[in-house]
Amino acid sequence: MPVVLFGERTALPGDWGIGHFYPKSRALKVGEPVILDASPIFDGYMVDTSFSFAVGHNAAHRAMMLDLAEFRRSVLDAVNAGDRFKVIADRVNARIAAMGYEPVHGKHPGEVLGHRALRLPNFPFDWRFKGFDALSLGWFILKGKLAQTGLGRHAPTWNTSAQSDHAPHDGLWLVEPHAGKNGVGAKWEEILVIQGGRAAWLDDDVPHLRQWAMANGGGEYGPVAVAATMG
């Protein structure tokens, strides 16, 4: 389910719904923010990844990306302190709002700050709509609804709803804080491993870590610049 957002769409403005993710005809302009987001199926699991940058100079996007960096530490610490998922999501939203941004991950499917890398059933066919793997996405949302009604053990979604009012449970969690303001949006996404009640990031050499270092130094932090640092 690849998605490319640029310009004001990176901030998920207004009454944003799933239909707003579908491709548009407007061309990308120099200076605009961009978010690349994809949910590949890996060995039967639906995982997720994102990359956020700007084409050319965009001071607002650079500042937003750097502001979002603090959640890599604060979310990890909160999980290891045993804070409830809902409490963590509420706290992240409040902190993003205090920064002067809108926490727009609440407009993602499932209203998620994060979601689990979920094993999908072996569907005999593939149903896509405007590029979206609608069958896999529908299964993911259904799992959350079943958990909410008590028919499933754990919801695969991590958000501010009552279904996330529980202690962190083991699994691979895709964490994706996303902020927006005045037509500029930025996010990062990373796999958090929770095992035996303890959490750690899967990898400590991910693109957004390199981006933060480059942006802090005033340099370019787009895909070409990041790729150049990876040899």
Long-range contacts of 86-91 (CB under 8 A, 24+ apart): 86/159, 86/160, 86/161, 86/162, 86/164, 86/165, 86/166, 88/113, 88/158, 89/113, 89/158, 89/159, 89/160, 89/164, 90/160
What would the two tokens of residue 55 be? 């084409």
Closest CA to 88 of 100, 79, 97: 79
Q: Return the higher-pLDDT residue of 17 and 180.
A: 180
Low-confidence winner among 56-70, 105-119, 166-180 (lowest mean pLDDT): 105-119
Closest CA to 105 of 53, 145, 68, 144: 68
- Whether 53 shows a pLDDT value over 60: the answer reads yes
Q: Return the higher-pLDDT residue of 164 and 119.
A: 164
Tens of pLDDT, residue by residue over 215-231, are 999 999 999 999 999 86
- Whether 140 shows a pLDDT value over 60: the answer reads no
Q: How many CA atoms lie within 13 A of 6 on its CB side?
A: 17
For residues 190-208, average pLDDT:
96
Which residues touch 102 (CB under 8 Å, ≥6 apart)? 11, 96, 179, 180, 181
**Pairing label, strands 178-181, 128-129:** unpaired
Max CA pair span of the chain: 51
Tens of pLDDT, residue by residue over 72-109, are 999 999 999 999 999 999 999 999 999 999 999 999 88
- The percentage of residues in the chain with a pLDDT greater than 90, rounded to a whole number, is 66
Burial class (CB in 10 A: 0-12, 13-18, 19+), 202: exposed
The predicted structure's pLDDT at residue 209? 97
Cross-strand partners of 115: 157, 174
DSSP letters, 13-25, are -SS--GGGGS--S
The predicted structure's pLDDT at residue 95? 98
Domains of the chain are 3-229 (3.90.230.10)
